[in-house]
Amino acid sequence: DVKVTQSSRYLVKRTGEKVFLECVQDMDHENMFWYRQDPGLGLRLIYFSYDVKMKEKGDIPEGYSVSREKKERFSLILESASTNQTSMYLCASSLLAGGTGEQYFGPGTRLTVT
């Protein structure tokens, strides 16, 4: 089974802090994704990566950056956390080719910025 793990289930940070959310997958998937999930808005794509050191902006990249130094690890960085970044953050991975595009999700990190 594909396993996607995220470093924290719950995180509380102060406004202005730099925040790192880590994601690791164990199935050698090329693609990795970061979403935020908010009630009534569904899942919105922040950033994705299709290869090591490659990244592309999703639909809501403002205020975020990412890092992919190794194939299995994809980090989301909030350079200066703000209260409007309080949300559930989901990481996902998928095969680049040869599959149906199905994404496998981690358990999520619920981030509260005070």
Partner 1 sequence: AQSVSQHNHHVILSEAASLELGCNYSYGGTVNLFWYVQYPGQHLQLLLKYFSGDPLVKGIKGFEAEFIKSKFSFNLRKPSVQWSDTAEYFCAVIVYGGATNKLIFGTGTLLAVQP
Report the residue number, 32 or 81, with the smaller CB distance to partner 1: 32
Tell the smallest beta-carbon distance from residue 107 to partner 1 (Å).
Answer: 5
Secondary structure E strands in the chain: 4-6, 10-13, 19-25, 31-38, 42-51, 54-57, 64-70, 73-78, 87-94, 104-105, 109-113
Taking the least distance from each CB to partner 1, the nearer of 50 and 73 is 50
Q: Which residues of 49-74 are buried (b: 16+ CB within 10 A; e: fewer)?
A: beeeeebeebeeeeebebbbeeebeb
Judge whether 106 and 93 are in contact, CB under 8 Å. no
Residues engaged in binding partner 1 (CB under 8 A): 30-31, 33, 35, 40-45, 48, 50, 54, 56, 58, 90, 92, 94, 96, 100-103, 105-108
Smallest gap from Cβ 5 to partner 1, in A, equals 10
Nearer to partner 1, 77 or 88 (CB): 88
Find the shortest distance in angstroms from Cβ 69 to partner 1.
18
Q: How far is the CB of 18 from partner 1 (least distance, A)?
A: 27
Can you read off the two tokens belonging to residue 76? 């989301």
